[in-house]
Amino acid sequence: MTQDNSSQDGAAGQNGGGDLFNTAAGWVLFAAGLGLGLAILSGKYFHGDKPQRPEQLGYVIEGVADEGAGPAEVTMAEVLNTIPTAELIAAGEKAYAKCQSCHTIDAGGANGVGPNLAGSMGGAVAGHAGFAYSAELKALGGQWDWDKMDAWLKSPKSYVPGTKMSFAGLSKVEDRAAMAAYLNSKGANLPLPAFTPPAAETPVEGDAAAVEGEAPATPEGEAAPAA
């Protein structure tokens, strides 16, 4: 009886061990299959087997072309040479109204908060007698030509840091040209600065064929008119 029980217990142990082995093997195969499936899936969507880097990083906005640099900035010389001087002087006289609280402009006028401006264009920088200019403006030196006046009227404090001039400046080149033209009419009459208009664009070869005298093609079956 004892031997029969022992043999039965041994058989049960062997069967239990076999079941445990089969279960473990099944889980191993399942894990391997799952891993293989995930690898294939990730490779399909993310190209993990052949990683590729875009040639140009960033987003591409459809409809926006790279046109390179924009048009050249308009200069004071261009404005002075393209708008009639009389119109500029008239516009400058109107703009000068905001300066009257600090400056006089007629010849022989007194200094105020700022110096008298008669003959300032073409005259020496910080050169009007009897006015206490800042050391920084005196250090600028030279004459008030078109370029200096353009930079000065655009932003006095940026052009000459430390100046006593409290005027904020004129951001538009047309306004600066008008003011400079008005100042120039008050005693200096400097010649206008040189300006060369930009050359016209050359047409692409083939676009001007009709202009050069080439007759348009005659449709098939239609005779060309006699000369």
Residue 117, SS3 per DSSP = coil
How many domains, in total, are found in the chain? Answer: 1
Is the residue at 47 inside a domain? no
Structure tokens at 190: 């400097």
Per-residue pLDDT tens digits for 10-53: 444 455 555 666 676 666 676 666 666 666 655 555 454 455 55
Tell me the C-alpha distance between 114 and 104, whole Å: 8
Tell me the C-alpha distance between 117 and 106, whole Å: 7
User: Which residues does residue 124 pair with via DSSP β-bridges, in sequence order?
Assistant: 143
Tell me the C-alpha distance between 140 and 38, whole Å: 74
Is the residue at 104 inside a domain? yes
Range of the domain at 159: 76-184
Is residue 181 a contact partner of residue 89, using CB atoms and an 8 Å limit?
Answer: yes
Residue 143, SS3 per DSSP = strand
Per-residue pLDDT tens digits for 86-140: 999 999 999 999 899 999 999 889 999 999 999 999 999 999 999 999 999 999 9
Is the residue at 168 inside a domain? yes
